[in-house]
Amino acid sequence: MPERSPDGDHRFDLIPEVYRDAVESVLIPAADIERKLDEMAAQVDADYADRELLLVGVLKGAIFVMADLTRRLTVSSAMDFMAVSSYGSSTTSSGVVRILKDLDTEIEGRDVLIVEDIVDSGLTLDYLIKNLRSRRPASVEVLALLTKPSRREVELPIAYVGFEVPDVFVVGYGLDFDEDYRGLRDVVTLKHEVYGG
């Protein structure tokens, strides 16, 4: 039997023992993420009916959204990935974006859907959208599992948003702190003493 959280409920049941002490709260349970992905995939299916989609995942945080979204889609979709510089062990954006891994494919004339784990300041995405638009795709839209609207520094068009989260540092479902916690099935917050935020 998995150990229960201090208040005796089952919210921590999906969190491996080794991580439980670090977790402050389960912000978005895995079941809610699954349901939301069903809804988002249905919307994407409807919007891209009879078109061929190129999903562009932003490594590494978007890997689970990419995998779980793609398996729900019924439209024709190809996948590609980009890696851009991100946080390291700090928890605030530097605003400096560097491409560490570019796309393998040409996107001219194609319908591109950027898949993101979280949009925080929006600086990373703003750069990515501009960069991809300069390659003359037929369209560029964005799907983000999470967004922190209160932290936004640039206005961004996000066609598909899973959940709005408050200004707190979250991990799990692909999101990391210092490369850890990505594999958690829920989106959780960490105790203050863990990340010093």
Q: Site for ligand IMP (CB under 6 A): which residue of 36, 47, 87, 137? A: 87
Tell me how far, at minimum, the Cβ of 123 lies from ligand IMP, in Å.
Answer: 4
Catalytic residue among 68, 111, 117, 120: 120
Closest CA to 80 of 107, 53, 114, 57: 57
According to the binding rule CB under 6 A, does residue 61 interact with ligand IMP? yes
According to the binding rule CB under 6 A, does residue 33 interact with ligand IMP? no
Residues 119-138 that bind ligand IMP (CB under 6 A): 119-125
Q: How many residues are listed for the chain in this entry?
A: 197
Residues 153-172 that bind ligand IMP (CB under 6 A): 169-171
Residues 6+ apart with CB under 8 A from 36: 145, 162, 163
According to the binding rule CB under 6 A, does residue 117 interact with ligand IMP? yes
Tell me how far, at minimum, the Cβ of 37 lies from ligand IMP, in Å.
Answer: 17
Closest CA to 169 of 159, 181, 158, 156: 181
Please check whether residue 110 is in contact with residue 135, taking contact to mean a CB–CB distance below 8 angstroms: no
Buried b (16+ CB within 10 A) or exposed e, 81-90: bbebebeeee
Annotation says 120 is catalytic = yes
Give the residues lining the site for ligand IMP (CB under 6 A): 58, 61, 86-87, 93, 116-125, 169-171, 175
The catalytic residue positions are 120
